[in-house]
Chain A
Amino acid sequence: MSMTALDGIKPLTLRQYFICLWGIVWREGLRFLHQRERFISALVRPLVWLFIFAAGFRQVLGISIIPPYDTYILYEVYITPGLMAMIQLFNGMQSSLSMVYDREMGNMRTLLISPFPRWFLLSSKLFAGVFVSILQVYAYLLIAYFWEIEPPSLWGYATVLPALALCGLMLGALGMVLSSLIKQLENFAGVMNFVIFPMFFASSALYPLWRVKESSPWLYYVCALNPFTHAVELIRFAFYQKFDWISCAAVGAYTAVFLIAALIAYDPARGMLMRKSG
């Protein structure tokens, strides 16, 4: 990389871009694999919800038949897409945490002085996070499979992949925006309280929106606007080999907004980063 930086005049080749992307994804992958606790906690969190929370509410919440389901389903089946999205939400926030860490430790400076454009570096970092979150989701699905939580056909595991990629991007970009706002690692608890929990609970992850509407119409609108709701629904439909236009469009739009915001935030000329480190 430093060689390329010295060359300066020559435009960067596609291969070099790829090496850079690979390097970032590889580092993120290694970090994920080496932090076994992180892997296990990423897996345990949704499983606790699945086996304890869902088991407790099994009889309480009556689920009427709503798309994409063709028949009655158990509560465990209902909340699985929500838990898949939750894995990605936590992962998105966790990679934002690692950005803060990188910034504090100075690793980010190394990265940011490379000759690659800023947007490319940030996107690579984002892709790395998405890659890791997808690994986590499939690990969760593997365990869920043994409890007979599975798509109607095995194709569902393939059709859910693009949905996971898009949702991972959206939540990762959101995390990136947030990371530009957090000064120190300690502030991550604030992210938990003010971002993760409200997003998760005010969504269709745990209960269908018609039920929310019954009890509180305004909360319903909050849920309907929540990007996380659309992520959950996109995954829910894709897992059942169906396509939900509305949630796909919503997730796409939110991804674009968060991405642009992240790029602006990390733009050295006007970003928050400059303001804070300066």
Chain B
Amino acid sequence: MNKLLLILIFAALTFASPAAAYLAYVSNEKGNTISIIDTDKLDVISTVKVGRRPRGIELNKDGSELYICAGDDDAIQVFDAKAQKITGKLPSGPDPELLTLSPDGDIIYVSNENDNLVTLIDIKRKDQIGDIPVGVEPEGMAISPDGKLLVNTSETTNMAHLIDTKTKTIIANILVDNRPRFATFKPDGSELWVSSEVGGTISVIDPEKKIIKQKISFDVPGMSKEAIQPIGVSITRDGSRAFVALGPANRVAVINAQTKEVEKYLLVGQRVWHLAFTPDEKYLLTANGVSNDVSIIDVANLKVVKSIPVGAFPWGVVVAPQ
């Protein structure tokens, strides 16, 4: 009898609990704010003033702190997720744009566009612990799941620089198509995807052999080639599907990550820039720079369910674990 009661209570709790609500943070480049979205309500629940020109944003492991590249303030700001306010800053060097965290969450790697450097910051000590010279206009940053390989893309040199995190030196330079802006590893670390904004392609790199093994290009019917500018890339945890933001083409391309074939183009807001999954991968959020909104993609059904107005020029987006 007790067992039955327990089962009933469990069932009631399971069915009564609403869909997982996560908090998504969107950096508004021109609004100098962070918009916080509740992914259950699919609405902005608050907007917080931060430093000037916030672009790249990243969360720490437990989602308690958000690191914001405030480009025009030449610093990375530390944002307390609970208190919803800036609690400090990290010395990034001038004009930080994109950053990535080491898998253990201790070190921030940030690209400093003006100095052609990747700067390493110890989060606990709040201090710089090194610089790695890279190509001209560094932007995209990614780290392999095991934390051994760091990747930086330089927009003008058109290279993906593969860096050994132990020795802090470049071990390979891979020439990709024009203006590489973003890099990400497949969750199992077997592939590195680099998007080229002007080249209009994704280069899929084998990190072991350090060569490009495949290139993915896009063709949106009725859209000129120049308008198709791949930027943000998100790959599902199981490595089956990838989503690529196509900038002014106002589309997100859905790619079969095994065959590398484009399956579908989803219409989102204007100049779609960066993307982020909710931790359960139910939704993918897209920051749409020109239309000042965030589109929500239903990942299972490959449908855009809503576009939510946020601040001016949304640029980056991250979703916190619960």
Measured CB to CB, the nearest residue on chain B to A152 is B305
A152-B296 Cα distance, complex, nearest whole Å:
14
**CB–CB A70/B222 < 8 A:** no
What total count of A-B pairs have CB within 8 Å?
Answer: 28
**CB–CB A71/B223 < 8 A:** no
**CB–CB A71/B295 < 8 A:** yes
Which chain B residues lie closer than 8 Å to A74 at the CB level? 267
Which chain A residues lie closer than 8 Å to B304 at the CB level? 71-72
Q: Does chain B have a CB within 8 A of A143? A: no
The size of the chain A interface, using a CB distance under 8 A, is 10
Q: Does chain B have a CB within 8 A of A65? A: yes
A9-B303 Cα distance, complex, nearest whole Å:
64
Measured CB to CB, the nearest residue on chain B to A63 is B267
Q: Does chain B have a CB within 8 A of A59? A: yes
- Which residue of B222, B223, B307 is within 8 Å of A72 (Cβ)? B307
Measured CB to CB, the nearest residue on chain B to A64 is B291
Q: Does chain B have a CB within 8 A of A31? A: no
- When A65-B307, A152-B305 are in contact, do A73 and B267 touch as well, CB less than 8 Å? yes
**CB–CB B268/A72 < 8 A:** yes
- When A70-B307, A71-B304 are in contact, do A58 and B222 touch as well, CB less than 8 Å? yes
Chain A nearest CB, measured from B56 CB (Å): 26
Q: Does chain A have a CB within 8 A of B225? A: no
Chain B nearest CB, measured from A214 CB (Å): 18
Chain A nearest CB, measured from B309 CB (Å): 9
**CB–CB B250/A72 < 8 A:** yes
Chain B nearest CB, measured from A128 CB (Å): 37
- Which residue of A58, A59, A70 is within 8 Å of B306 (Cβ)? A70
Which chain B residues lie closer than 8 Å to A65 at the CB level? 307
Measured CB to CB, the nearest residue on chain A to B291 is A72
Which chain B residues lie closer than 8 Å to A73 at the CB level? 267
Which chain B residues lie closer than 8 Å to A55 at the CB level? 222
A200-B282 Cα distance, complex, nearest whole Å:
41
Interface string of B220-252 (1 = CB under 8 A from A): 001100000000000000000000000000100
Chain A nearest CB, measured from B2 CB (Å): 40
| Chain A residues within CB distance 8 Å of chain B | 55, 58-59, 65, 70-74, 152
What 12 additional pairs, Cβ within 8 angstroms, besides A58-B222, A65-B307?
A: A70-B306, A71-B295, A71-B296, A71-B305, A71-B306, A72-B268, A72-B269, A72-B291, A72-B295, A72-B307, A74-B267, A152-B303
